[in-house]
């Protein structure tokens, strides 16, 4: 079948919507409570999981309050790229990253994305959030994560630390399209599915905020429309205490 990847992604998205609605709703509950309570929202992922951190912050139609936790050593910009594999497995790095790149407090929310959920960096960032009294929303692959052991001394995987777990329902190993004559599948789905899940949750969150009486929710306007810069600046001034990145 030509361009079979589309069929696999569509099937996974349908499964996520039918199976994960309650968990997504629970995640939106935490986010709504955080925003109304003047808390901060953070997002973290290592290597390609971190692409969702880039997706969710500082863009038109996105929520201003989402603060990415970036670590250069676990970014896809790292050189050599194999450094990311070493660093996401390095015990202590996630703890240091959380200490220097986040200011978790009670009432905050961390969105943590990891397909396997097994590597120390994500486990430690999530643990740091929990220790500070913040809530954790995990976006992961449960069937995959449950087949692997944790690489962290605690023995914990991401889903075991989370207040809300959202399963991306991808294939074990993430790739989804079988290739005739090849053992390895191709076409990972975690990025496209994860982006759909999180954007759907943010859209639901903003609708709730407006329904609850918030007239100017902290949503970015496009900087390429007339007046966009001014609108964004006024929103930033209103919500600046919970926006941790440079405007």
**pTM of the prediction?**
0.96
Instruction: Name the pairing type of β-strands 135-140 and 182-188.
Output: unpaired
Tell me the per-residue pLDDT of 19-29, one tens digit each, with 9 for 90 and over.
Answer: 999 999 999 99
| Confidence band for 247, pLDDT divided at 50, 70 and 90 | low
Of 3, 34, 58, the C-alpha closest to 186 is 3
Tell me the per-residue pLDDT of 197-227, one tens digit each, with 9 for 90 and over.
Answer: 999 999 999 999 999 999 999 999 999 999 9
Largest CA distance in the chain: 58
Tell me the per-residue pLDDT of 162-186, one tens digit each, with 9 for 90 and over.
Answer: 999 999 999 999 999 999 999 999 9
Q: How far apart are CA 24 and CA 243, in angstroms?
A: 23
Show the tokens assigned to 112: 């943590």
Contacts of 33 (CB under 8 A, 6+ apart): 39, 107
Contacts of 131 (CB under 8 A, 6+ apart): 104
Contacts of 181 (CB under 8 A, 6+ apart): none
Tell me the per-residue pLDDT of 51-98, one tens digit each, with 9 for 90 and over.
Answer: 999 999 999 999 999 999 999 999 999 999 999 999 999 999 999 999
Q: How far apart are CA 181 and CA 112, in angstroms?
A: 36
CATH of domain 5-241: 3.40.50.10490
* Per-domain boundaries in the chain: 5-241
């Amino acid at each position: 079948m030509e361009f079979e990847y589309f069929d696999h992604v569509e099937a996974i998205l349908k499964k996520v919507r039918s199976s994960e609605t309650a968990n997504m709703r629970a995640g939106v509950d935490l986010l709504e409570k955080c925003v109304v309570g003047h808390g901060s929202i953070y997002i973290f992922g290592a290597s390609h999981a971190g692409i969702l951190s880039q997706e969710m912050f500082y863009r038109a139609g996105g929520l201003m309050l989402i603060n990415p936790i970036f670590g250069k050593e676990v970014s896809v910009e790292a050189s050599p790229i194999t450094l990311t594999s070493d660093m996401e497995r390095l015990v202590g790095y996630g703890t240091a990253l959380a200490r220097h790149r986040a200011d978790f407090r009670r009432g905050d929310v961390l969105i943590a994305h990891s397909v396997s959920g097994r590597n120390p960096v994500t486990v430690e960032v999530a643990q740091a959030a929990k220790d500070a009294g913040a809530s954790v929303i995990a976006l992961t692959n449960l069937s995959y994560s449950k087949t692997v052991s944790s690489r962290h001394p605690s023995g914990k995987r991401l889903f075991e630390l989370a207040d809300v777990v959202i399963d991306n329902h991808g294939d074990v190993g993430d790739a989804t399209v079988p290739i005739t004559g090849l053992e390895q599948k191709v076409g990972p789905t975690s990025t496209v599915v994860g982006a759909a899940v999180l954007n759907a949750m943010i859209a639901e969150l903003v609708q709730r905020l407006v329904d609850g009486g918030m007239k100017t929710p902290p949503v970015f306007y496009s900087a390429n429309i007339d007046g966009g810069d001014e609108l964004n600046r006024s929103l930033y001034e209103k919500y600046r205490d919970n926006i941790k990145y440079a405007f």
